[in-house]
Amino acid sequence: MCGIVGVVSSNNVNEKLFNGLANLEYRGYDSVGMCFIKNKRFYIKKGVGKLEEVHKKVNFLKLNGNIGLGHCRWSTHGGVTEKNAHPHVDCKNRISVVHNGIIENYSELKEGLIKNGHKFYSQTDTEVIAHLIEDSLKDSRIEDAVRNALKRVEGSYALGILFAGQPDKLIAARNESPLVIGIGNNENFIASDVPSILSYTKKVIYLDDKEIAVLTKEHVGIFGLDGNKKNKKTQTISWSAEAAQKSGYRHFMLKEIYEQPRAIADTLDERLLNGNVVFEKEFSLADDYLTKINRIVIVACGTSWHAGLIGKFMLEELAKIPTDVEYGSEFRYRHPLLDKNTLVIAISQSGETADTIAALKEAKKHGVKTLSICNAMGSSITRMSEGVIYTRAGPEIGVASTKAFTTQLAVLYLFTILLSKIRKTLNEKQIKDMIEGIRRIPLQLQSVLDEDDEILKCAELYHHKLNSIYLGRGVNFPIALEGALKLKEVSYIHAEGYPAAEMKHGPIALIDKSMPVVFIAPHDVYTYKKVLGNIEEVKARGGIIIAVATENDKEIPKKAKHTIFIPKTLYTLSSILSVVPLQLLAYHIADKLGRDIDKPRSLAKTVTVE
């Protein structure tokens, strides 16, 4: 996955690069490196470990120069070694490259380059790019050499390239890996994401696939691989720089959990007008079309896929539209059957998840309309879809998705209201109740956060357990999956999410008196009574029951060892509330275990490889 950042400026850029890398570290933290040009020579420092660890050894801030690149690595090709850390250079140390992505034909390219006399220093796929550019350089300009080199490359890349002989020029290129250009004041930036440069500029240009950018401190030119100049729109980002800081919290994950009342309020802002749901102009799907659709297919990965599962409940129960939910990574290999009345919805926090992008591409091949529900403005998925609804969670930095998930649920709920109204599947009173229900959510979330002491107590008691089970039925089953995923990700404890009634078909054998079992059991008319029975089954086998229940529930506290209460709300909305105790439980357990919560091992925030 890797993170890249680059700056060309009239001033020393080392702090900007360092801060940029600190913000990008969620993308990869095996190793880190920086490169500057001074007196037409490269000064490179790199090492294995996280930014702070390597910085202690090499002191990145001692480097200086007005142009530089930084990289944090999530290894794909070549082990975690200093040699494999980026930047990589050509034979004559004139070209320096940082890369995020995978060069799929690197073996054959490398073979050919070696035959032509090139010497390789690392085992990475990235190094071939430096040598390919060197090969193409001869008498051509550096930007032409980059273009010619990239024509030979297959795979994905976001690249930052420096040429020692031209210390005023930074070159960037993109294909299927995210890259944004930041327009500053007498300085310009490249970065894998917007938050990493948000303290310096809010004006950005998103590169598209197979585009090259040539940056000097005063100017940015963008070209296709054919060398033709492109006119690209500069966009202004609405996120504040402070939103990407920890603001006194020990971890981003905790800050982001606590931000959820605000994030939901922002996601609703100006979208509920006079009993109607109103989306912004980029939504762009006409009522006429929305009346005609007869099927929805949701594609997503991880937590966003869980949001999709809950969306299915909303869309089927309320808008009466048959809905399938697919993993992005499986969809394109399944020969999906789609027709013109199918709407495909991609859900993604980052908008850059390779598997979801691949699924969206597959959908588009079938000529269907697509809608994205996304948190990152201008990201790839939003640019590929006909319609976009933004979640307004603000930058989510912690690898474990929290506020992005609940805002996705809020958007799915709003979209369901809109469809139900257009398609007349609910009456005015039902729509009014739904709107009132979601309006209450920010305040209700606050009261769930007030349960944190009880949740902390559970974490203190059970953080040493090696396994746990999460159970729920109906709309609470995806929440069970999400609770288990959160725990696995940040604490590394094995956790399984199951439909509560499926338990008796197998997993019940796992339950003994050492097994914590988390029930998501808010009061509802569908399954509540049955879940009480499932709780009894676990209790009879000695399982340690932690339950999420609706306030004033008298039954569950009699059966569970710990009960965490959430306020009463509508069935499909309860998921926004009931997931929060599970996020906090995972957080506190991981904290007790001393895990690296915002950067859990082997995980990256944005998974840009398929």
Q: Which residues bind ligand AGP (CB under 6 A)?
A: 301-304, 348-350, 353, 356, 399-401, 489, 606-607
Quick one: 301 or 438, whose CB is closer to ligand AGP?
Answer: 301
* Whether 96 contacts 142, CB under 8 Å: no
- Of the candidates 490, 494, 491, 485, which has an alpha carbon nearest to the alpha carbon of residue 514? 494
Quick one: 130 or 607, whose CB is closer to ligand AGP?
Answer: 607
Question: Per DSSP, what are the bridge partners of residue 224?
Answer: 211
Phi, psi of 605, rounded to the nearest 5 degrees: -65, -45
236 three-class SS: strand
Cβ at position 399, least distance to ligand AGP in Å:
5
Quick one: 170 or 586, whose CB is closer to ligand AGP?
Answer: 586
DSSP 176: B
- Of the candidates 390, 25, 382, 76, which has an alpha carbon nearest to the alpha carbon of residue 208? 382
- Of the candidates 461, 463, 479, which has an alpha carbon nearest to the alpha carbon of residue 520? 479
Quick one: 489 or 591, whose CB is closer to ligand AGP?
Answer: 489
What count of other Cβ atoms lies within 10 Å of the Cβ of residue 505? 9
* Whether 608 contacts 156, CB under 8 Å: yes
Cβ at position 535, least distance to ligand AGP in Å:
27
Cα distances from 541 to residues 24, 465, 501, 517, in angstroms, run 46, 17, 15, 11
CB closest to ligand AGP, residue no:
302
Quick one: 174 or 217, whose CB is closer to ligand AGP?
Answer: 174
3-state secondary structure 105-120: CHHHHHHHHHHCCCCC
The two structure tokens encoding residue 144: 């032409």
CA 610 – CA 608 distance, rounded (Å) = 7
Cβ at position 243, least distance to ligand AGP in Å:
17
For tokens 């197998």, the residue is: 506
The two structure tokens encoding residue 468: 């746990």
* Whether 354 contacts 380, CB under 8 Å: no
Cβ at position 304, least distance to ligand AGP in Å:
4
Quick one: 159 or 399, whose CB is closer to ligand AGP?
Answer: 399
Quick one: 31 or 348, whose CB is closer to ligand AGP?
Answer: 348
Cβ at position 547, least distance to ligand AGP in Å:
23
Cβ at position 384, least distance to ligand AGP in Å:
13
Catalytic residues: 2, 605
Cβ at position 443, least distance to ligand AGP in Å:
25
Cβ at position 396, least distance to ligand AGP in Å:
9
Quick one: 323 or 348, whose CB is closer to ligand AGP?
Answer: 348
* Whether 48 contacts 81, CB under 8 Å: yes
* Whether 389 contacts 345, CB under 8 Å: no
The two structure tokens encoding residue 356: 């979801």
Q: Which residues of 72-94 are buried (b: 16+ CB within 10 A; e: fewer)?
A: bbbbbebeeeebbbbbbbbbeeb
